[in-house]
Structure 1
């Protein structure tokens, strides 16, 4: 338990680390293209997100803007081309056809042409097979929060996998869509002051106490592994963490754990990003560095592009977490309103809800 606490502490509180980052010189006043793309063998509308960082040195440094109006395609090593369509509501996000899925043994490249005519291409990414997740275990993690009355806490997910012996494997774990039972207090509803209610008297609502809320919770860190230490063996490894916000684990929580095979080059990129995020930021640490992408500008190979195009195979394990399984939960967060007023909430459960 102590070992796992230290592991999570690195992700949640950003511990110090000594690393040798992959450094790239960035010309001042340049906007940088960022590519976010993880395409897998799980069929569905899969996303490529394109943004540009604001100019370095400007008062807007650190902000990003969507790259709109681009032509985005995915091409495999047999010449099959898939065109992606930009979402009208989520600008800068380009989606595949719902039937799209990568195939084991194939290689894929991402190609982008911006509205200004710049053409970018990735190096090919080989898709390797991925084993199934044998089982999962849950552990409650508590982390002291300096200056806070209550510890921070959450659920650590550990997966058991049987690694293939014939090849060197690289793994990447992500949290997929999640749904949980949301409980609120409409009986405590108090409207904002108005001419008709200047004293803000409570106006309890009759409905509704319980809803089902959907969210993409993220993974509170980067969970990756290579099989150097467990090649051909069955192993148990931390693959995710979901923080308790006082709402998620009041009742029942569901999440899809995604296990993705990635290339050695993608693993190296994610490992460097992981190291960068774990730097404490003290005066003794190296300055943050940008890590080179596998995307290049075909007319200007020296241009720095951020992000990475990943293509892999995927296995999914659906997990239901009941509050009774946890030995510590956060105090319940009170929402004094109809649960249907909360973003992402609906009255009825998903059709495939089956705790």
Structure 2
């Protein structure tokens, strides 16, 4: 009887609890500029977005900035207008390229009339990549019996002695031989097909898959190797059980950048490598080289980079690895995988 009376007294208290609604102020919409132009001829792009620091429950966190006027101006007065071909992505002409020794500035006028400009960036020469080699990297994973692994690409370069050089490496789209198991194909249940019986496909087992992999920020300055030949890590490619079954082709871009761009990328690298330790530096907003002409105090994210570029290609065979992940199984036609094609690239030459 006492317990029943206690429950009856408690019910009104429970029913009178109202949900507490938290209202957050909408975060500032920060303009972000992502663009790099180099001496490599071709269509080159600048991407404009706006991001919220918080608010809206992270809804629409990144928004493209469309209908802006975007131009690149060099120190001789030449002006190039970029065209918006995708929402927020503005492209140069087909054969655009920077020239060593020239200085370039990015100027943006948004649809509401606000004008932004970058600080001038001068193109510095870049040495060739003498050679590329690979080494296997194994990383123990807590609670797992099998290590995480991948390939580190190492470049040998001869640094010029007569100048202070800053380097940035990026991986161009890579191609690898993708092998799948269409003979193991089993359709998923649907309204018209409830069978779970295997239905092997006749084709296709081998395709060539194109992907873009940029894991980490790879930069260097020549303080410790000025005028010397040295080897530097320039890329990391994780072994996912598919990439290194047979042959993987990587193209490495070596780009000269300014000291200011190097400092910016170094801060980005530090932020992306935060591990969650109490010794990590606190996260911070990293300002780039873009400013609002009417309101210089406005925070603009990103950096407009200008550089000279050289590339080198390497083919990686499974035999080059000292440790490999177990082969992953895709039980379907290889042509249905993203970026896959039955025909090899015209310049495929392992």
User: So what's the TM-score if we normalise by structure 1?
Assistant: 0.89
Q: Give the 3-state SS of the residue equivalent to 1:32 in structure 2.
A: strand
Superposed counterparts of 1:1-355, under 5 Å? 29-60=27-58, 63-88=61-86, 91-218=87-214, 220-283=215-278, 285-355=280-350
After superposition, the C-alpha distances for 1:177-231 in whole angstroms (9 at most, x for unaligned) are 101111111111111113553132111110000111111111x211111111111
- How far residue 98 of structure 1 moved from its aligned partner, in angstroms, is 1.4
- How far residue 278 of structure 1 moved from its aligned partner, in angstroms, is 2.2
Q: 1:242 to 1:211 in 2, by over 3 A?
A: same
- How far residue 329 of structure 1 moved from its aligned partner, in angstroms, is 1.2
Q: Give the 3-state SS of the residue equivalent to 1:155 in structure 2.
A: strand
Gaps of 5+ in 1: 1-26
Tell which structure's C-alpha radius of gyration is larger.
2
C-alpha separation in 1, matches of 2:229 and 2:102: 27
C-alpha separation in 1, matches of 2:35 and 2:103: 15
CA contact (8 A) 2:187 2:195 kept: no
Report the equivalent of 1:9.
none
CA contact (8 A) 1:111 1:121 kept: yes
C-alpha separation in 2, matches of 1:274 and 1:55: 20
C-alpha separation in 2, matches of 1:201 and 1:118: 61
C-alpha separation in 2, matches of 1:196 and 1:53: 44
C-alpha separation in 2, matches of 1:279 and 1:212: 35
CA contact (8 A) 2:172 2:212 kept: yes
C-alpha separation in 1, matches of 2:52 and 2:84: 21
Ranges of 4+ aligned residues in structure 1 off by more than 6 Å: none
- How far residue 73 of structure 1 moved from its aligned partner, in angstroms, is 1.0
C-alpha separation in 1, matches of 2:158 and 2:217: 21
CA contact (8 A) 1:31 1:56 kept: no
Q: Give the 3-state SS of the residue equivalent to 2:198 in structure 1.
A: coil
CA contact (8 A) 1:140 1:328 kept: yes
- How far residue 37 of structure 1 moved from its aligned partner, in angstroms, is 0.9
C-alpha separation in 2, matches of 1:348 and 1:204: 22
Of the two structures, which has the highest relative contact order with CA contacts closer than 8 Å and spacing of 6 or more?
A: 1
Q: Give the 3-state SS of the residue equivalent to 2:267 in structure 1.
A: helix
CA contact (8 A) 2:174 2:210 kept: yes
C-alpha separation in 1, matches of 2:144 and 2:177: 27
Q: 1:284 to 1:217 in 2, by over 3 A?
A: closer
CA contact (8 A) 1:51 1:92 kept: yes
C-alpha separation in 2, matches of 1:75 and 1:114: 17
Q: Give the 3-state SS of the residue equivalent to 1:59 in structure 2.
A: helix
Q: Give the 3-state SS of the residue equivalent to 2:48 in structure 1.
A: strand
Q: 1:28 to 1:165 in 2, by over 3 A?
A: farther
C-alpha separation in 2, matches of 1:281 and 1:98: 44
Q: 1:74 to 1:322 in 2, by over 3 A?
A: same
CA contact (8 A) 1:54 1:61 kept: no
CA contact (8 A) 1:55 1:61 kept: no
Output the aligned Cα RMSD. Answer: 1.6
Q: Give the 3-state SS of the residue equivalent to 1:279 in structure 2.
A: coil
